[in-house]
């Protein structure tokens, strides 16, 4: 079977897409470790907060090459602490797709946040992704994380390097359910994982209008050596020699359990509301300490897609053969769910849902008889439906209503 997705060749083969998100949320947290940006352990800070952020993401793709850029600023006053956090982050990534099954790339990034002390973080991580099926992937990555603190715990400057690995799994059992899972740890503990690791699983349900709700469960474990004196020893009864008591060294385990629930509800094409709740339990064998913390937050998000060179969010679908089926890949970065609508489903706007892969690629499979098919891509977000425009390199014909349909040939 042969698929011909008719395209044209021109100087605009490379395409930029992007999305800008402006968030404002209010919340209450009993530990800054639950902060979505900071993640620094400090259970002494129990406070309400307002987190305002502006983040822009831009994507460029040409053939098998993909570049992603992310930049953001944030400001977070803590209501009960008479202080605030402010700073920003930047991330750049490159990915090359060798085939529909294998891709590889690298990500580099950094962040800077300051309050009573300052924290600078920089990292890089190469990664390889195996698309087991169009809707299931396995990713392996590793790299180094560099941290530097200024005026932290009365030290003028301190820093460290952490070499890490990650194994991530993602699948769509159906077009509504998405499961993500990951295992992370230190490269130095790769053969003795029990000394330190973290694992996370997120199950998300997607509604037709882009509403989604997700449940996250994570566990972290760290081991350290603890030396203790034993009673008795060489002394006489009843308690032995207090100076020459023997010592024993053992491994003590600290664990962090966290459960979180998060949801997003679009209320228009550009506005959405969201909320989150997290509960954390920390248990330390070394100090025989157990604590509980929580975080509650809710906010509003305004997002839009800027136009790069007047192209906006135009798409150029890529069709491939997968066995006896036809497989469509669409690069798209804005919010919303995408649906394939065309002659193959009698132009029913309920459409064939496309499922999002992690690299901003949307995928669907069909099984069509030979012939020519006209089609469109429909975006749904909240109560808004929008027909996406095709790029100049996609061959189109008039739909008779002032817009265009793309053409797919199956031979």
Instruction: Note whether residue 220 is domain-resident.
Output: yes
Q: Does 167 or 310 have the greater pLDDT score?
A: 167
Residue 45 above 90 pLDDT? no
Instruction: Give the model's pLDDT for residue 248.
Output: 65
Instruction: Give the model's pLDDT for residue 399.
Output: 85
Instruction: Give the model's pLDDT for residue 235.
Output: 46
Q: Let me know whether 346 and 281 are in one domain.
A: no
Looking at the structure of the chain, the number of domains it has is 2
Which of 11-25, 48-62, 69-83, 337-351 is predicted with the least confidence, judged by mean pLDDT? 11-25
Q: Let me know whether 396 and 291 are in one domain.
A: no
Task: Report the CATH number at residue 140.
Answer: 2.40.160.40
Instruction: Note whether residue 313 is domain-resident.
Output: no
CA–CA separation, 409 and 375 (whole Å): 11
Instruction: Give the model's pLDDT for residue 179.
Output: 96
Chain segment 106-140, per-residue pLDDT in tens: 999 999 999 888 999 999 999 999 999 889 999 99
Q: Let me know whether 292 and 169 are in one domain.
A: yes
Final residue of a structural domain among 253, 277, 304:
304
How remote is the C-alpha of 33 from its chain's centroid?
Answer: 18
Provide the pLDDT confidence category of residue 186 given band limits of 50, 70 and 90.
very high
Instruction: Give the model's pLDDT for residue 247.
Output: 67
Instruction: Note whether residue 309 is domain-resident.
Output: no
Q: Give the best-scoring range by mean pLDDT among 2-11, 270-279, 287-296, 359-368.
A: 270-279
Instruction: Give the model's pLDDT for residue 252.
Output: 84
Residue 360 above 90 pLDDT? no
Provide the pLDDT confidence category of residue 39 given band limits of 50, 70 and 90.
confident
Instruction: Give the model's pLDDT for residue 90.
Output: 97
When pLDDT is averaged across residues 375-387 and rounded to a whole number, the result is 88
Instruction: Give the model's pLDDT for residue 361.
Output: 87
Instruction: Give the model's pLDDT for residue 230.
Output: 59
Instruction: Note whether residue 345 is domain-resident.
Output: yes
Q: Let me know whether 330 and 182 are in one domain.
A: no
User: Any idea what DSSP says for residue 333?
Assistant: -
Instruction: Give the model's pLDDT for residue 11.
Output: 38
**Is residue 247 classed as helix, strand or coil in its secondary structure?**
strand
Chain segment 12-24, per-residue pLDDT in tens: 445 678 889 999 9
Which residues, including other chains, have CB under 8 Å from residue 300's CB and lie 6 or more apart? 23, 24, 25, 271, 272, 273, 274
Q: Let me know whether 300 and 325 are in one domain.
A: no
Final residue of a structural domain among 248, 281, 304:
304
Instruction: Note whether residue 21 is domain-resident.
Output: yes
Q: Let me know whether 324 and 299 are in one domain.
A: no
Q: Let me know whether 199 and 253 are in one domain.
A: yes
Provide the pLDDT confidence category of residue 9 given band limits of 50, 70 and 90.
very low
When pLDDT is averaged across residues 374-378 and rounded to a whole number, the result is 93
Instruction: Note whether residue 4 is domain-resident.
Output: no
Q: Let me know whether 280 and 349 are in one domain.
A: no
Instruction: Give the model's pLDDT for residue 10.
Output: 42
Provide the pLDDT confidence category of residue 243 given band limits of 50, 70 and 90.
low
Instruction: Kindly compute the dihedral angle of the four CA atoms of residues 281, 285, 290, 294, in this order, to the nearest 10 degrees.
Output: -20
Task: Extract the tokens encoding 401.
Answer: 């209503």
Which of 79-93, 192-206, 238-252, 283-297 is predicted with the least confidence, judged by mean pLDDT? 238-252
Task: Extract the tokens encoding 145.
Answer: 């994380």
Instruction: Note whether residue 7 is domain-resident.
Output: no
Q: Let me know whether 333 and 285 are in one domain.
A: no
Q: Give the best-scoring range by mean pLDDT among 266-275, 328-337, 349-358.
A: 266-275
Residue 328 above 80 pLDDT? yes
Residue 238 above 60 pLDDT? no
Instruction: Give the model's pLDDT for residue 410.
Output: 86
* Domain that residue 397 falls in: 318-410
Residue 374 above 70 pLDDT? yes
Question: Which of 62, 67, 68 shows the shortest CA–CA distance to 10?
Answer: 62
Question: Which of 337, 345, 375 shows the shortest CA–CA distance to 3?
Answer: 375
Chain segment 259-279, per-residue pLDDT in tens: 999 999 999 888 999 999 999
Residue 87 above 50 pLDDT? yes
Task: Report the CATH number at residue 394.
Answer: 2.60.40.10
Q: Let me know whether 298 and 324 are in one domain.
A: no
> Do residues 38 and 113 make contact, with C-beta atoms less than 8 angstroms apart?
yes
Q: Let me know whether 356 and 389 are in one domain.
A: yes
Instruction: Give the model's pLDDT for residue 236.
Output: 44
Final residue of a structural domain among 304, 336, 367:
304
* Number of C-beta neighbours around residue 194 at 10 A: 12
Instruction: Give the model's pLDDT for residue 237.
Output: 44
**Tokens 């390097």 correspond to what residue?**
161
Q: Let me know whether 276 and 336 are in one domain.
A: no
User: Any idea what DSSP says for residue 357?
Assistant: P
Instruction: Note whether residue 223 is domain-resident.
Output: yes
């Amino acid at each position: 079977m042969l698929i011909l997705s008719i395209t044209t060749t021109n100087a605009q083969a490379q395409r930029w897409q992007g999305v800008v998100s402006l968030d404002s949320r209010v919340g209450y947290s009993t530990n800054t470790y639950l902060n979505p940006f900071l993640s620094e352990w400090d259970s002494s800070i129990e406070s309400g907060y307002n987190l305002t952020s502006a983040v822009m993401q831009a994507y460029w793709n040409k053939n098998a090459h993909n570049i992603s850029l992310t930049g953001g600023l944030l400001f977070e006053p803590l209501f009960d602490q008479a202080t605030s956090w402010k700073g920003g982050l930047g991330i750049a990534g490159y990915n090359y797709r060798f085939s529909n099954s294998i891709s590889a790339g690298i990500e580099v990034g950094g962040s800077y946040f300051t309050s009573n002390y300052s924290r600078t973080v920089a990292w890089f991580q190469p990664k390889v992704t195996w698309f087991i099926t169009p809707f299931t992937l396995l990713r392996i990555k590793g790299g180094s994380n560099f941290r530097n603190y200024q005026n932290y715990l009365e030290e003028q400057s301190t820093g460290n390097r952490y070499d890490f690995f990650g194994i991530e799994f993602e699948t769509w059992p159906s077009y509504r359910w998405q499961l993500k899972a990951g295992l992370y740890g230190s490269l130095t503990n790769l053969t003795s994982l029990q000394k330190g690791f973290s694992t996370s699983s997120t199950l998300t349900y997607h509604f037709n209008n882009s509403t989604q709700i997700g449940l996250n469960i994570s566990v972290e474990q760290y081991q350290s050596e603890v030396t203790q004196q034993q009673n008795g020893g060489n002394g006489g009864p009843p308690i032995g020699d207090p100076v020459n008591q023997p010592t024993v060294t053992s491994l003590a385990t600290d664990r962090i359990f966290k459960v979180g629930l998060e949801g997003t509800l679009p209320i228009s094409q550009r506005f959405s509301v969201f909320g989150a709740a997290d509960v954390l339990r920390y248990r330390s064998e070394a100090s025989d300490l157990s604590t509980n913390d929580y975080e509650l937050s809710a906010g509003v998000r305004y997002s839009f897609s800027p136009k790069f060179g007047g192209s906006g969010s135009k798409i150029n679908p890529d069709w491939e053969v997968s066995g006896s089926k036809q497989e469509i890949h669409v690069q798209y970065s804005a919010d919303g769910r995408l649906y394939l609508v065309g002659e193959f489903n009698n132009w029913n706007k309920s459409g064939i849902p496309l499922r999002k892969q992690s690299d901003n690629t949307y995928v669907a499979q069909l099984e069509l008889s030979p012939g020519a098919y006209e089609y469109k891509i429909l975006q749904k977000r909240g109560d808004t439906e929008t027909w996406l425009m095709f790029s100049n390199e996609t061959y189109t014909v008039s739909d008779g209503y002032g817009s265009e349909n793309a053409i797919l040939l199956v031979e």
